[in-house]
Amino acid sequence: MQDYFQQLIDTARQAVTVNGQQTRTYRVAGRLVQAHFAGSALLSVIHPPLAHLAVDDTQLPDLELFLWDSHSTGLQSPDFPNRPAGADIWRYHDGRLTGYGFNQLNHEGMMWLDRRENKAVYWAPSAGRVSSADHACPLLWLWSWWLSVHQIHLVHAATIAGEQSAAMLVGKSGSGKSTTAQLALNSGLKYMADDYSLVDVPARQVYSLYSACRVMLADRVNYPWLDPTYASQDHEKAVFHLFPALKDKLALQRSIKAIFVPKITGAPSSRILPVSPAQVLRAVAPNTLVQLRVGIDPQQAMQAMSALARQVPCFALELGADRNQTTALLTEFLGEA
């Protein structure tokens, strides 16, 4: 499989010469990632949600990433031997190389990581066929594979922050994670994530990964402050790119003060109550591991989330109807009042 990966790298290197190489450097959880885009087609899709992490840094990167699409470069991805019809999603994992590909609902693409060489490749047939999830959370699994090597864990959690510390929000879709993160954008709080957060458990630090958020189309009217950042939408959700318009509302790294398990109660006001670490682990681990089930050691990730739940104070966040009271409560909790 190493030969195949080398073919991918060679094709990607050739692709970036067709329309002009566009290189961006990102600081992801404290590590430098140099991304070489073949022209502007994929750059326009993949870069905006990561733009808040872009840095001017010429040091040797910790990861080198090549991205190309066939439509704008005329270069196809090397053929897969023995590929049968009917497999919409596939994965390969041998400890050194991890690959993941999909061809589903008119979306197609694949990504590969070589852990030993710290090189990665992303390919799509065209920018228009990049999955709708990648418009808000590009390269999700690639980050998960690569950062887990460095004991940084991608966790299915929203994160809001004050000036010094942050609170993570964990739970299944619809529990109020994203709602709370988006409310933070209209308060004195900072936004770090609405869906996926990066966590360094021993250092008790959380990092922002994406500055894009997604809102159900029907709910969009409830977040008018997002309107200037509207980017795109699919049949279900609108995508907003918070950077650069709301850059002052974004935080990149904080120490973790607490973990909340939110729940929308319909009560008039919100309140914060202690819960057990077990309740937090039950809210975060299955969601995270079932979603990111490729290319990571799930038992190791489970133990990291367990260690986090044990070392950080855990609370239920009962979300009431009064949004102003909710943000005031969280602002006070994070010491910003």
Partner 1 sequence: MSVYSINTADVVHEVIEGEAILINMKTGVYYSLDGVGGHAWEALQSGPGSAASLAESLAALFDAPLDELEKELARLLAEMQAEGLLRVGEGTAQAAPLAASGEKKPFANPQLVKYTDLEALLLLDPIHDVSEDGWPHQKPDEVSEENKA
Instruction: Examine residue 278 and tell whether it contacts partner 1 (CB under 8 A).
Output: yes
Q: Which of 23, 151, 276, 324 binds partner 1 (CB under 8 A)?
A: 276
- Inter-residue contact 336 to 166 (CB < 8 Å): no
Strand partners, 206: 199, 254
Q: Which of 181, 281, 316, 334 binds partner 1 (CB under 8 A)?
A: 281
Q: Using the structure block, give the residue that is written with the tokens 């990648």.
A: 134
Site for partner 1 in 163-192 (CB under 8 A): 172
What span, in angstroms and rounded, lies between the C-alpha atoms of 4 and 6? 5
Give the torsion sign (CA, 51, 171, 261, 225).
Answer: positive
Instruction: Examine residue 323 and tell whether it contacts partner 1 (CB under 8 A).
Output: no
- Inter-residue contact 206 to 258 (CB < 8 Å): no
Minimum Å gap between C-beta 319 and partner 1 is 19
Instruction: Examine residue 236 and tell whether it contacts partner 1 (CB under 8 A).
Output: no
Contact track, partner 1, 92-111, x by CB under 8 A? x-x----x----x-------
Class of residue 167 by CB neighbours under 10 A (exposed 0-12, middle 13-18, buried 19+): buried
Strand partners, 157: 170
Q: How many CB atoms lie within 10 A of CB 57?
A: 12
- How many residues bind partner 1, per CB under 8 A? 36
Nearer Cβ to partner 1 (228/286): 286
Instruction: Examine residue 234 and tell whether it contacts partner 1 (CB under 8 A).
Output: no
Contact track, partner 1, 64-83, x by CB under 8 A? ----------------xxxx
Instruction: Examine residue 88 and tell whether it contacts partner 1 (CB under 8 A).
Output: yes
Output phi, psi for 115, to 5 deg: -65, -35
Contact track, partner 1, 282-321, x by CB under 8 A? x--xxx-xxx-xx---xx--xx--x--xx-----------
Select the span of 29-37, 208-216, 273-281, 323-331 touching partner 1 (CB under 8 A). 273-281
Radius of gyration of the chain (CA): 20
Nearer Cβ to partner 1 (77/165): 77
Minimum Å gap between C-beta 175 and partner 1 is 11
Strand order through the sheet with 237-241: 212-216, 237-241, 230-233
Instruction: Examine residue 116 and tell whether it contacts partner 1 (CB under 8 A).
Output: no
Binding site for partner 1 (CB under 8 A): 1, 80-84, 87-92, 94, 99, 104, 172, 276-278, 281-282, 285-287, 289-291, 293-294, 298-299, 302-303, 306, 309-310
